[in-house]
Amino acid sequence: MGKFIFSKEQSAAYHLALEAYLHEQAIARDESFALIYVNRPTVVYGRAQNPYREVDWVQATERGVALHRRISGGGAVYHDEGVLNYAFFVPRRQALVLNYAYFLEPLRAVLRELGLASEILRKSNLYVAGRKISGNAQALGAEVIMSHGTILFSANTELLEALLHSPSAQVDRVAVPSDIACVKNLREILAERGHELSLGDLTQLWLDYLERVGLGGESFQEGSLSPELETLVRQDYLPRFLSRAWNFGRTAPFQLRISTPEALRADYGEKFPRHWQLSIREAVIESCRAADESEGAAALAFGRLLENCPLGYKELRQALAPLGDESVSLWLPAFSS
Amino acid sequence: MKMQVKLPQLAPEMASAVIVAWLKAEGEPVAAGEALFEVETDKVVSSVEAEAAGTLEKILVPAGEACSVGSVVAEIEG
């Protein structure tokens, strides 16, 4: 008999920390767990991703969307109060490695009961009526597997599409790219077929299925986290997922090409470089050089403003402050457009 | 004695993976069974343990690079 835990927290960092704890401590060595949660607006990207490539991180920061790296693979996903997240923790069996269909079966069964057919495409994505409603990823431990995913139910798709753009041509180091797909909210699809459901309704149907039928023949009952476990997660795991070192510093070294904002070129003059090549290591700008052009004194001075500056919103604002607030506001989007 | 560290096949359909991170640096000792590096394939991240003890002498495939199953990714001096 497995346990499911419906978290009332809304912090993505906390849930990522909890997932890491449950996975790394092999809690599911003998008994399966399911964690269900909803986060405040956040973009969560994969273990091996370059967030600067996958996310419009400047816009995310300006719009109050948090950015966090998870322990599993795959691409960047958007979370908000209209996205249901789930994570299964089960004893490791070879047959379950890369077997996303196994972990998606409860959701697919609920959708069938609502009269909706679904298909799994690209191994780990669930589609309904030709649109992606769920992405999934896994982390393998020696004794356990974590398989988790999202259900896009009633998310802010305008914000999702604004922040998760196609791989940036200006970043040269690919790492693991996101699989950009045409998404649609499941609530819309259900409504088109005469089902008016809330996220709470869908969650309850999914949990009822887990209790009644289960996963792979193992049913789940509601459980809870002990206060001691919650304290341990907050003290020992949460700092990692809140840290710049984990969220950004883990990015493999890369080159970033940016352009002088059009609106500022007249002020800077014709000799000021139009394009810049930045070398980024551990999310810090190691160097900033004019790209393919000779450098004058103004160009060298600009490059020096950015050398050793962490590639972060407030850090860039501070480094570029000598240029004046208006110029800084024009420069910032250049770093993630 | 130099031992080759190869990218293992985690699942039958796996053909390649991206090295996510090296958990040891060149020159560091490694114990048999200790997690040596992490890989990602088809959205799965897995750590790979060292098969034998020794010193991690050379990393041949750096983090962020992809390689095929069976590729030699590092050498351990036993």
DSSP conformation class of B78? -
Alpha helices in A50-192 (DSSP H): 51-54, 57-62, 100-113, 157-163, 186-192
Radius of gyration of chain A (CA): 22
Chain A partners of B44 at a C-beta cutoff of 8 Å?
72-73, 97-98, 137-140
Nearest to B10 among A136, A140, A250 (CB): A140
Residues counted in chain A: 337
Residue of A nearest to B13 (CA): A98
pLDDT in tens, A145-176: 999 999 999 999 999 999 997 555 556 555 56
Chain A partners of B48 at a C-beta cutoff of 8 Å?
none
- Do the chains contact at B64 and A175, CB–CB below 8 Å? yes
Q: How high is the mean pLDDT of chain A?
A: 92
pLDDT of residue A31: 87
Q: What ipTM did this prediction achieve?
A: 0.88
Nearest to A71 among B45, B49, B64 (CB): B45
Burial of B3 (0-12, 13-18, 19+ CB in 10 A): middle
Low-confidence ranges of chain A (pLDDT < 50): none
pLDDT in tens, A273-283: 999 999 999 99
pLDDT of residue A26: 86
Q: How far is A253 from chain B (nearest CA, A)?
A: 9
Phi, psi for A214 (deg, rounded to 5): 90, -160
Chain B partners of A44 at a C-beta cutoff of 8 Å?
none
pTM over 0.90: yes
pLDDT of residue B13: 87
d(CA A282, CA A49): 13
Sheet holding A118-121, edge to edge: A118-121, A125-128, A131-134
